[in-house]
Amino acid sequence: MSEGSKNAFFGGLLIGVVVTFLLMQAISIPSFRSEVLQYSEKVLLPRSVKIIQAGISSAFPTSPPTTSSPTTKRLTTPTAIPPNPAAPSSSKSDVLILIDEEVLACLTCPYPNRTVDYLMFGKVGVKNWKKKNIYKGQNDSQKDYFLILGNGTERAVRKFNWTLYTLDKHEFYIPSDVNQFLFDWKRSKFIRCHNIDMNRGSPKQVVPLSAVQHFSKLRDLAAFYGSTLLLNGGTHLGWYRECSIIPHTTDSDFVILEEEHNPELLKALETSELFSVYYLFGKPSDCFQLKMCTDLVKIDLFYLYRNTTQDLSYVCGTSTPQRVRYSYPVLTRDHICSGDMLDRLVYVPCDSDAVMEMGFGKEWRRDWKSQNYQWDRDGGNIMLKEKTDPDYPSWNHRRAPQRCPGFW
């Protein structure tokens, strides 16, 4: 073979290797993306690649969630470079903490010439109280939230540390994680449950009360990605009626607003060590439902949709070959409040009375055995039953994870 032929041969071989590599990359990238949860109309498939777990191991995520901006002309994002970045975080109580939404949303803007909202725990020595609206905080060591009183309201936010800050010669403290605080503050109106004694004696508790620890971890993971985990169904009923988990219920129910959908949250759940996802149905834009469990509790997570034609919200319950739509009063980000379930902060609809009546009827204060309740028949808020197309997106785990309790 001549020298020119050899060069042509090896040149062609090299080109072939490069083309093959590029083709493999082009195939593998969409293949990988189809194996994790994406916001698309594709079939949702199980994961095949283990990635680093995001934000689930800590009580409070270390990165801020995405929050909607206040309705002002100020900048929408807190400053990333404060004037005194070396100031340490603190939890001491004898300080003034600035909690004014507008100021926190733009820490590089001038200090406003108006009354500014502050929070204090205990007694604080302040030389000048002018133009300061003071909220008083309560820090119960048994709870994972601060109760904040002021302006005739009760509010609750997840516990946080604070750091010293200086703005236009004004020195004060601010929450160390500003974005987390703003996320919580928008949902902080505190609703108290009824704490009705159901006179059950000492019944067996199917879902252990310690499951609230996992509820709070799921709450924090959702908030990490800018989504609000709301109590729903029997879990909402148990909280609102008796401030606890109904003893004879076998699972827990939550919803996330479809408008707060974040595909990264679904990926994090799929790769979590704590939560095992074993069932998916639908698509994020229509009738999405996800089932998962921990070693303590089985969790149903639904997306909540807005029906503007009928002026209501709804979720879907599914079972082959049908799906059922359940209606609720209109629920948006502006209708979310906070509550206390066994010393843990939970997010709930502000008008929980209306939700109870629509879902369980005017007799919602009575106790109905869970085994006597048929999910696709007994709900007073069933608005539509429809057949499920055979090709509708769904995925079942090969089998229910062994560590998951109470499978049917």
DSSP state letters, 237-301:
HHHHHHSS--TT--SEEEEEEGGG--HHHHHHHHT-SS-EEEEEEEETTEEEEEEEE-SS-EEEE
pLDDT at residue 285 is higher than 70: yes
pLDDT at residue 259 is higher than 60: yes
Residues 6 or more apart in contact with residue 245 via CB below 8 angstroms = 205, 207, 209, 211, 212, 235, 238, 252, 341, 342
Tens digits of residue pLDDT in 100-149:
999 999 999 999 999 999 999 987 766 677 899 999 999 999 999 999 99
pLDDT number for residue 89: 52
- Work out the pLDDT band at 5, boundaries 50, 70, 90: low
Residues 6 or more apart in contact with residue 392 via CB below 8 angstroms = 281, 282
How far is the C-alpha of 131 from the C-alpha of 69, rounded, in Å?
Answer: 24
Q: Let me know: does 139 contact 175? Beta carbons within 8 Å.
A: no
pLDDT at residue 232 is higher than 90: yes
Query: How deeply is 4 buried, as exposed, middle or buried, from its count of CB atoms within 10 A (0-12, 13-18, 19+)?
Result: exposed
Tens digits of residue pLDDT in 312-359:
888 887 655 566 777 788 889 999 999 999 999 999 999 999 999 888
How far is the C-alpha of 330 from the C-alpha of 314, rounded, in Å?
Answer: 8
Nearest-5° Cα angle at 66, 85 to 79: 25
pLDDT at residue 83 is higher than 60: no
How far is the C-alpha of 346 from the C-alpha of 230, rounded, in Å?
Answer: 7
pLDDT number for residue 91: 56
Give me the mean pLDDT over the 354-371 stretch.
82
How far is the C-alpha of 106 from the C-alpha of 138, rounded, in Å?
Answer: 27
Tens digits of residue pLDDT in 36-58:
344 333 333 222 222 222 222 23
Cβ atoms within 10 Å, residue 78? 21
pLDDT number for residue 349: 96
pLDDT number for residue 202: 82
Return the bridge partners of 163, or none: 89, 174
How far is the C-alpha of 273 from the C-alpha of 50, rounded, in Å?
Answer: 10
pLDDT number for residue 338: 99
pLDDT number for residue 358: 85
| Greatest alpha-carbon span in the chain | 98
Greater pLDDT, 365 or 185: 185
How far is the C-alpha of 233 from the C-alpha of 231, rounded, in Å?
Answer: 7
How far is the C-alpha of 199 from the C-alpha of 367, rounded, in Å?
Answer: 10
pLDDT number for residue 130: 84
Rg of the Cα atoms in the chain: 25
Cβ atoms within 10 Å, residue 331? 22
pLDDT at residue 360 is higher than 70: yes
Q: Let me know: does 177 contact 162? Beta carbons within 8 Å.
A: no
Average pLDDT, the chain: 76
Greater pLDDT, 39 or 406: 406
pLDDT at residue 210 is higher than 50: yes
Return the bridge partners of 135, or none: 119
Q: What percent of the chain has pLDDT over 70?
A: 65
Greater pLDDT, 358 or 275: 275
pLDDT at residue 296 is higher than 80: yes
pLDDT at residue 400 is higher than 70: no
Greater pLDDT, 235 or 309: 235
Tell which residue, 150, 205, 203, 159, has the closest CA to residue 180. 159
Give me the mean pLDDT over the 275-291 stretch.
87
User: What is the CA 153 to chain-centroid distance, rounded?
Assistant: 24
pLDDT number for residue 88: 45
How far is the C-alpha of 364 from the C-alpha of 231, rounded, in Å?
Answer: 16
Cβ atoms within 10 Å, residue 360? 22
